[in-house]
Chains A and B, each alone.
Chain A
Amino acid sequence: KQEVTQIPAALSVPEGENLVLNCSFTDSAIYNLQWFRQDPGKGLTSLLLIQSSQREQTSGRLNASLDKSSGRSTLYIAASQPGDSATYLCAVIYNQGGKLIFGQGTELSVKP
């Protein structure tokens, strides 16, 4: 069964800290992996997409890495800010045009 797990479920850090969110998937034959952000009561915002042939992607203070062989991805957030507080979702897709399979998300709170 293809499943995605995110650890931790919730994380609270002081402003300015660097942090890592973890995502693991049971079937390593992914097509790509996408990280999203969801603010309370809002839709999903795509943060980074890593294709299966790539090892990492960067956007501003965000860096996502992918290790297909071990079935893991990490989202690194540098110099966290209160505005980063949200739920972060990891999702994988196994074929072009297919469905995203989501993890349960990590709820991040950055305290001023």
Chain B
Amino acid sequence: DTAVSQTPKYLVTQMGNDKSIKCEQNLGHDTMYWYKQDSKKFLKIMFSYNNKELIINETVPNRFSPKSPDKAHLNLHINSLELGDSAVYFCASRTSGGANEQFFGPGTRLTVL
């Protein structure tokens, strides 16, 4: 009964390829996020969607395109992968209402060769 799940867990690919990471949450939350954890383990927001609408878009290259088919899913598509895209990508969702607590998926480790 995983709350926030991501696939795949590991992704190894060549520079220039296009790849997607999928995220699903079964918590009934309206808001979902993508975060990136770099090689120094620093976590930073990339995108946020609320009920399929984009609400946060940090200064991320436009090669990264999030897509939310419904409020339980937020996928991340990356075009023309570069070496610097190698990182761990985490999906999260948050509770509605006052607490605003965020829950994270297990992460997808992307390695670009």
Residues of A contacting B62 in the complex (Cβ-Cβ under 8 angstroms)? none
Asked whether any CB of chain A lies closer than 8 Å to the CB of B73, the reply is: no
Asked whether any CB of chain A lies closer than 8 Å to the CB of B12, the reply is: no
For chain A, what secondary structure do more than half of its interface residues adopt (helix, strand, loop), or is it mixed?
A: strand
**How many residues of B sit at the interface, in one of the four size bands?**
20 to 34
For chain B, what secondary structure do more than half of its interface residues adopt (helix, strand, loop), or is it mixed?
A: strand
CB-based contact A105/B100 at 8 Å:
no
Closest Cβ neighbor of B101 among chain A residues = A49
CB-based contact B31/A46 at 8 Å:
no
Residues of B contacting A36 in the complex (Cβ-Cβ under 8 angstroms)? 104
Residues of B contacting A100 in the complex (Cβ-Cβ under 8 angstroms)? 33, 35, 43, 45, 92, 102
Q: List 13 A-B contacts (CB under 8 A).
A: A34-B102, A36-B104, A43-B90, A43-B104, A43-B106, A44-B90, A44-B92, A97-B31, A97-B55, A99-B33, A99-B45, A100-B102, A102-B44
Interface residues of B (CB under 8 A from A): 4, 31, 33, 35, 40-45, 48, 50, 55-56, 58, 90, 92, 94, 98-107, 109
What are the nearest 5 A-B pairs in CB distance?
A: A99-B45, A44-B104, A43-B106, A102-B43, A49-B101
